A and B are shown apart, each in its own frame.
Chain A
Amino acid sequence: MNLSAPRTLALLAALAFSGCAKKEVEAVIDNTQEVQAYYKAHPDFFKFATRADLPKDLAWQDGHDVPEFAAPEAKRGGTLHAYVDDFPRTLRFVGPDTNGTFRPYILDDNALTLIQRQPNTGQYYPALASSWAVSKDGRTIYFRLDPEARYSDGSPIHARDFLIGVYLRISDHIVNPYSKQYFRESIAQVAMYDDHTLSVSLPEAKIYAPMIAGSLTPSPPGFYAAYGSDYSERYQWKFPPTTGAYEVLQGDIVKGASITQTRVKNWWARDRKFYRYRFNPDKIVSTVVRDESKAFELFRAGELDTFYLNRPELWYEKSEIDPVYKGYIERVQVYTRYPKVPRGLYLNVIKPPLNDRNVRIGIQHSLNWQKVIDVLFRGDYRRLDAFNEGYVNFSDPSLKARPYSINLARDAFHTAGYTAEGRDGILTKPDGSRLSVAVTYSSTLPLFDRMFAILREEAKACGFDLRLDGLEDTVAYKKEMQKQHEMMFESWLITPPVPDFHEFLHSSNAHDEKGNVKTQTNNLFGWARPDTDLLCDQVRTGRTAEEIRDATSQLQHIMHDEAIFAPSYAVDFMRIGSWRWVRWPDCTTTRYCPPVVYDPHEVYVFWIDERVRAETRDARRTGKGFPESTKVINPDQPNTESAAPANP
């Protein structure tokens, strides 16, 4: 994924500047006045009301009927050994470099929000808010905080902390205008009524309003009292008191090497429904291992507890090892219902010849993804059919990607005016212009070089010259953000439940008022059309599922007909190897993990059985084996149980 921040250059810069960093005594700052002034300056956004202002006729919900999804047999304790491919650049949650791979560990999957969504059923269940209510007009959600809710430092959570949390993200100290703007646009007002009651209003009513409003997190004012213009350095390595299960203690940050998360002592939610069987390990140690093959060796030796085995060579050849045969490492292929990452080529319609729809259609037919899937992925993956595919309610399953076809491709190119053929077999127009388009991609993974080498050779048979522009990760990202690419191979992490088209298709992300290309947005297509603008807005503001479904389906069809997105491949499952002391749920509600997760680890339903670890250690010493365990778990087909022996 290209979301991560600079690599090589940052590394070089870090090398260059590490020597000259000076330790300065931090000035004591108290920003209370400043924050109050900011609140005053934005009275529409921050509202201080009284309990009397609460509407009387609210229907409070508390999610008491929502089923749990963790396994009651889960055990507390133990240590999970994980790895990260790069040391986190910061522990902040706002400001530069906060979108790294480590962020979910400390924030998104850990810190509690007001309410959360049950990953199996999609219902809401209480987190920091013990109950919530939706206003009549559907725009405002009211929350009552759980009076027991505490930060990891023991201090109670207060309604005003949510206002601080919003302030930190939108204050004038934040340089990135995009995130600020996003926050300002997605929330209309935050109001507090008393210490434990607050409301969040959205600009317009939405079908998933409680989820959006309920995703706020509190920030302790004491900790952020020194938040000011120098916040990004000041808070760089300070772990804020968290409401979640894991905190990072100061001594546990070994820069460049490892970072350890410790389960909060007497975590306030430890016995709460939905949390009592989750977040089980006492410690999670994330070691930096920059090379995947080295990480695999560590996993093989038992130094890492779990490992993704998605790629065929990891699942097949590299898994032909003793720990797997002897049942020390258990492997699972678990199918998920998570929306499919829109991975494919983003055709920039501003750049000729891609402004010609026939060329785009020809290109779609000249990319032999099936061969890539068959050869590189052993036929285990499948063809992605559409952009934003796999949203349970909001994707049109009837759409099918265009297949590789030399004749259809040549027909389309012919219609576009490429009627002659050069000495090398590449089609040309009568005026001599060659049918040649560059594809930009990140060559950090050697796999992509191999993939495009195949596609290039296959495209040649269609008379299409696919030029390969593999660039270092950061450079490729920069190029696409500058909209300098012709075609870009890209994938975005998308989230359920509603797909977003606005950022990819809306004209406001394609050009500014004067018609200049707008850079630094995700509209990599350069696409701008009034009808798609309307539909994008409709997806964002739809009040009913039908309305959204109608708009998403139309958008998917437009994208297909205009052939601006060339879908590549999709993976319907996660393959995970875990040493047998890492236990995963196997109960009626949850088999292995809830089906709508991107990564089975993210909901923390596993646990570490130290007794089994000791047993396995002894077994390894004596050479004793357990039955080999390779399972296939498919929530859509409950009875497609494994081919291999069951659990030991």
Chain B
Amino acid sequence: MASLRFRLNPQTQRRLNRFRGIRRGYLSFLVLAALALLSVFGEVLVNSRALVVRYQGRYYFPTYGAFHPGSDFGEGYSYETNYRHLGQRLAKEGSGDWVLMPPVPFNAYENDFRPGVYPPTAPSAAERHYLGTDTTGRDILARLFYGFRIALIFAAFYIGFVYGLGIAVGCAMGFFGGKVDLLGQRLVEIWSNLPFLYIVIIVASLVRPDLTLLVIITGLFSWTGMTYYMRTATYREKARDYVAAAEVLGASTSRIIFRHILPNTLSMLVTFVPFTLAAAISSLTALDFLGFGLPVPTPSWGALLHQGTANLDAPWIVSSVFVSIVLVLSLVTFVGEAIREAFDPKRFTTYE
């Protein structure tokens, strides 16, 4: 994105400093950033593959590498090693070999069935299912965790898509004005009146969407809101003296847009980002909840929520996903409020 090349102007710098001063928002931001960072290295924390295996004097690091068939470790099968069983076996043998599992030793897909116990099973630290299992015997914590990661990836692409399109169209309308503006506005009006949910449902029922398609579908119906803000912001900035000065100096259109107007609207855009993030997560969750989202068995909060509401007798499903959603959305909202406060122009404006 071109905006990465922008140098922050001192005013923006001051705003960021002010944001740091708002405790609740800044803390939320740190927690959220930490969660996002954790999820990047999710395979180390929540995984059925061992972190380290010491077997016959050699060390193996299966987490990111190729898979090891069970026969590599003296197990009698050729499919992927079950490291939890391997660990128990090696511990029993007492030959000095060992397995170090991640804190949550399950991936988001495997079904952990035990004889005589029918999933969903309640949370149990002994079984290391800290939030229990879902109706198919999958670890809920693992599914929540990877579901969060997927939601973040979705949100990142979604924000990129929505802002890219919204800023481009909005800025063009504001900058060029006249017929472009008139026509663009009408198109945006028509487009934004298309019933989003119906269209998503129809499209999702024709093809099973993957992440890319879902970003495109949801993004296509969400960019219009941004154009209004960008249009007015561009109009306002364009009328300012510094733009006129740049024009007089002979700056090209693209230079004016990218070097002068866009950096000055950045502060407004930044205040929207957290709320768009919240919207992205909740719309993905909603679509998954309705069954029009990511294909099964992708871990997703919406699907988990759906399962939880259908199985209220297993309260750990619905409560863990509910708490997660509330938590993440609250954090995002706190960050958003703090940014909004920090960027509030009222602090620098006096009304007469």
Among B133-141, B147-155, B220-228, B254-262, the one that faces the other chain is B133-141
The answer for the CA separation of A359 and B44 in the assembled complex, in Å, is 36
Give chain A nearest CB distance to B26 CB in angstroms: 41
Give chain B nearest CB distance to A490 CB in angstroms: 17
Contacts of B119 in A (CB 8 A): 375
Contacts of B79 in A (CB 8 A): 406, 425, 460-463
The answer for the CA separation of A406 and B136 in the assembled complex, in Å, is 21
Among A8, A423, A450, contact of B205 (Cβ-Cβ < 8 Å): A8
Give chain B nearest CB distance to A566 CB in angstroms: 19
**A401 located at the interface, meaning its Cβ lies under 8 Å from any Cβ of chain B in the complex:** no
User: Are the C-beta atoms of A446 and B297 separated by less than 8 Å?
Assistant: no
Contacts of A410 in B (CB 8 A): 78
Contacts of A463 in B (CB 8 A): 78-79
Give chain A nearest CB distance to B97 CB in angstroms: 22
Chain A: interface size category? 20 to 34
Contacts of A450 in B (CB 8 A): 135-136
Among A12, A461, A470, contact of B295 (Cβ-Cβ < 8 Å): A470
**B313 located at the interface, meaning its Cβ lies under 8 Å from any Cβ of chain A in the complex:** yes
**B348 located at the interface, meaning its Cβ lies under 8 Å from any Cβ of chain A in the complex:** no
User: Are the C-beta atoms of B313 and A456 separated by less than 8 Å?
Assistant: no
* Most B-side CB within 10 Å, residue of A446, A460, A469, A470: A446
Q: Which of A391-413 contact B (CB under 8 A)?
A: 406, 410
User: Are the C-beta atoms of B67 and A453 separated by less than 8 Å?
Assistant: no
Among A425, A457, A470, A474, contact of B111 (Cβ-Cβ < 8 Å): A457
**A533 located at the interface, meaning its Cβ lies under 8 Å from any Cβ of chain B in the complex:** no
Q: Interface 1/0s, chain B 226-240, versus A by CB < 8 A?
A: 000000000000000
Q: Which of B31-86 contact A (CB under 8 A)?
A: 66-67, 69, 77-80
Contacts of B184 in A (CB 8 A): none
Total inter-chain residue pairs, C-beta < 8 Å:
77
The answer for the CA separation of A425 and B138 in the assembled complex, in Å, is 20
User: Are the C-beta atoms of A375 and B206 separated by less than 8 Å?
Assistant: no
**A617 located at the interface, meaning its Cβ lies under 8 Å from any Cβ of chain B in the complex:** no
User: Are the C-beta atoms of B136 and A12 separated by less than 8 Å?
Assistant: no
The answer for the CA separation of A8 and B202 in the assembled complex, in Å, is 8
The answer for the CA separation of A621 and B138 in the assembled complex, in Å, is 44
Contacts of B137 in A (CB 8 A): 375, 454
Among B202, B296, B306, contact of A9 (Cβ-Cβ < 8 Å): B202
Q: Which of A342-392 contact B (CB under 8 A)?
A: 371, 375, 378
**A421 located at the interface, meaning its Cβ lies under 8 Å from any Cβ of chain B in the complex:** yes
The answer for the CA separation of A475 and B78 in the assembled complex, in Å, is 38
User: Are the C-beta atoms of A457 and B109 separated by less than 8 Å?
Assistant: yes
* A447 nearest CB neighbor, chain B only: B135
The answer for the CA separation of A375 and B295 in the assembled complex, in Å, is 23
User: Are the C-beta atoms of B205 and A472 separated by less than 8 Å?
Assistant: yes
**B201 located at the interface, meaning its Cβ lies under 8 Å from any Cβ of chain A in the complex:** yes
**B113 located at the interface, meaning its Cβ lies under 8 Å from any Cβ of chain A in the complex:** yes
Contacts of A457 in B (CB 8 A): 109-111
User: Are the C-beta atoms of B201 and A8 separated by less than 8 Å?
Assistant: yes
The answer for the CA separation of A469 and B296 in the assembled complex, in Å, is 8
Give chain B nearest CB distance to A362 CB in angstroms: 14
Q: Interface 1/0s, chain A 309-344, versus B by CB < 8 A?
A: 000000001000000000000000000000000000
**B198 located at the interface, meaning its Cβ lies under 8 Å from any Cβ of chain A in the complex:** yes
The answer for the CA separation of A470 and B119 in the assembled complex, in Å, is 22
The answer for the CA separation of A321 and B69 in the assembled complex, in Å, is 48
**A211 located at the interface, meaning its Cβ lies under 8 Å from any Cβ of chain B in the complex:** no
Contacts of A453 in B (CB 8 A): 109, 111, 136, 138, 296-297
User: Are the C-beta atoms of B297 and A468 separated by less than 8 Å?
Assistant: yes
26 contacting pairs across A/B (C-beta < 8 A): A371-B113, A375-B113, A375-B118, A375-B137, A378-B118, A406-B77, A406-B78, A406-B79, A421-B69, A423-B67, A424-B67, A425-B80, A443-B291, A443-B296, A446-B306, A446-B307, A449-B296, A453-B111, A453-B296, A453-B297, A457-B109, A457-B110, A461-B77, A463-B78, A469-B295, A474-B205
Which residues of chain B have a CB within 8 Å of any CB of chain A? 66-67, 69, 77-80, 109-111, 113, 118-119, 135-138, 198, 201-202, 204-206, 208, 291, 295-297, 306-307, 310, 313
Given A378-B118, A450-B135, A469-B208, 11 more pairs with CB closer than 8 A: A12-B198, A12-B201, A12-B202, A375-B119, A406-B78, A443-B291, A443-B296, A453-B136, A454-B136, A460-B80, A472-B291
Which residues of chain A have a CB within 8 Å of any CB of chain B? 8-9, 12, 293, 317, 371, 375, 378, 406, 410, 421, 423-425, 443, 446, 449-450, 452-454, 456-457, 460-463, 468-472, 474-475
6 A-B pairs closest in CB distance:
A461-B79, A423-B66, A472-B205, A450-B136, A453-B297, A449-B296
